[in-house]
Structure 1
Amino acid sequence: MKMYPMLILTVCLSAGCGGAGGSKSAAEGTTPAGTDERKPTATVYDETRKVSLYDPYMQNAQVLTIDCLPGWQLVGKVDMEDFQQANGTPNAQIKGSDGVRQLGFYTEMARSYYDENDGVATGQRHPLLRSMKRPYTTAEDYLQYVVRTQFPHAQSIELKDVQTYDKLPDAMRQRADNYGQLLLRNFQQGIANSVMGSSFAQILNAKADAAAVGCVIKLENGKEVYHLATAYFFILDVRMPYGTMRTIDRRMWNVLELTTFTAADEKSLDLAGAEASHMKGTIQLNPGYIQTITSMQQASIERVRQNVRAGIIRNQQQAARISEQLRQNAAEISDIQMSMYESTSAMQDRVTQLHSEAIREVNPYVSSDGTVVDVPIGSGTQVWSTSDASTILSSDSYFFNPNIGSTIEYQQMQLLR
């Protein structure tokens, strides 16, 4: 297996220097063939041809074009699941095979995943996520998981070589870091522009990663194939709003340019990687399609904002109705108390008044024009007011006099006892 490091180096440098990395292509994350019943939208012939990938959900709008080398057949499709769940963007996928030399490759652009403890109902999870038993914290773990899903019936999967982040070429590490910083900035900007505001979310941890793994796989018919998988990886641990005045810690991990290569032997595997990288380097995205998807995303975000704003307005209106009801109840209680005062003797009226003051924790003060004002107990024994008692000032200081240095005239009020 000495050839694996050389093949990994070739693929990584191609990805980092505009080959596979510049393609922005993508693939389904379950099995190479996928489970979608849609027919292939990109099939090529015996010569190099430019073919297109179309999106059946967007009236067969052209997503991208790619040059296919002689002897290869390409199958492409678009997975709208992430977009429909407002988790990301449409995921374009391309799978290629060479029946003569028994070469194959599989690639996907980008996909977001969530921790299995994110509160999402199991039936609403992404197909890959539904079978996950724990969050994947490294690109190596994730790639080994992908290989197992691509060959679910294999007799054995023998791991021959692993290139983790610290062992990869500088070009691939730099691309992983740049990808991670881009995602982090986008997430931070999304928080800042959200209706709830950035104070409701907190980034706990962010880390970029990348890996390449090489395997020898023994199929159920006893035949052995050589397999290589590469991907960029980004982990984001965040604390996000969850219900009213609650938060939940979520782990999100994003995969960029997941690509796998398959061949009958080591030499052919090297050839598969080189030719697949060449084809991926010819991918041209349709600007009109990207613009349409971006507009749809912005419209979806705006709908969410409008729904949140409408909810806030409804809560405010409900609070206003409750406040008005409390005010009316207080007014009715006051009317009842006044009726009781008028029907009793002066002594009973005074006792009732003192009792009311004690319950309400206020002291009655009277201004020079006879206006009586209830002042909360503990506000101060020196109470002053304007002539119409519209402004009340109080202090515990014996020397308190608001007329000093003031252009407004205040008069001291007397405790009514």
Structure 2
Amino acid sequence: MAQIEATSVRVETADTKAPVAGATIDLYRLDMAGKMTGTTDKDGAVTFADTMAGMSYIIVASAPKFAPNFLPRVKAGLAGIVIPLSVGNGRRVSEVEARNAVKTLETGEGGNLTSEQRAQILKEKASIAAVEAKNAKSQGDSEVASKLVNEGSAAFNAKNYTLAIAKYDEGIAAVPDFIGITPRFYINKGISLKQRAVAEYRRMSETKDMPQQDKNDISIKVEKDLGDAATSFGKAWDMLKASTAASPEMTKTVEGYRDETITNALGTFRIAAQIKKVGEPVAIPAKAIIGAYLEQQNDAAKKAEATIVLADVLRQGGNYDASIAEYRKALALAPENPEALFGAALALIMGGTTYDDKGTEIKDKAKYQEAANYLAKFEPLAKGNPKYAEIATEVPALVEVLKAADVVPVKDTKTKVTTRKKT
């Protein structure tokens, strides 16, 4: 059975390089009669999925208000073929005309060529050669990338995260800027770094009688790995947010990468906040990725979840006022979310406790009051739920801080500060 390959074409204006939507593309095999026809999408692109491998085609582009243009002897399987169109009468070229034009172009027979036409022929030949060279390089890059992805995945599945990270770094170095594969390396590298951090943190937590110096060393490594993971997801996101895919297939690939980046980045940010390993390498990508995600997300539950993660990161980074603002946004979306209630209370207490030049503690009663109200709401919602068991253990100590400041919860969170009467 003959092998088929996809051939992708993009049509653009000759002057501004703007995509030409609705252009008609005719493909003629050089070795036989017959044609294939397609229409460009809004991005000026069309893909012919079943061109015959090893065969050469004439590709003719025509569109209303443009002069037709063609490329001769284009091999099947090329991606990134660009045909420029200049303003014209919108005429469509017949198969006979197309074949005669190729004969003229290649042999000089079938018509007299002006110097301008000959210059255009040389330019088109160079364009085809450039596309073929680029395609050959892409194919080579693809083979290298596929090999490194597979080797990295095998190492990851064997829990050899260090080797996996090295393989993904090799991939980034080999193919640093191809939207079809480079984000995969950044995403997989980030996942591997996160998993190595989690494995080391678990080993530190579960190993009895580990020397304190060893714990300190592991703690530093864990924080660095989480920061490097966040940075890797950030680099993937930077590539993806600026991407303009050239085909429907690539659009689907890019969208998949974006979803993976968001999901795994959120998981990494959440872990960093939970184990209190938040530095700038985590906070900076968190703000950028979550901020962009929230702008395009319409699902209230998903928005609340992501907002809580951002608030947690900001709180652990000591940016209490900013974290309080995010928790309030999350509670506006999900008023009974225990994680948001607890996080907001903690941020309000920590942000509401300051010291003057003499070291005297200053308590912001308004923030304390809001924290008390959130904790009062948190306790019945979290009671008996193992998901919140760990953070629930911190509540009594927070309540004592509030009691010491003579603050007790009130039902209406808009009510002014209530001071507990002393007995």
Q: TM-score w.r.t. structure 1 length?
A: 0.23
Which structure dedicates a bigger proportion of its chain to strand? 1
Which structure dedicates a bigger proportion of its chain to helix? 2
Q: TM-score w.r.t. structure 2 length?
A: 0.23
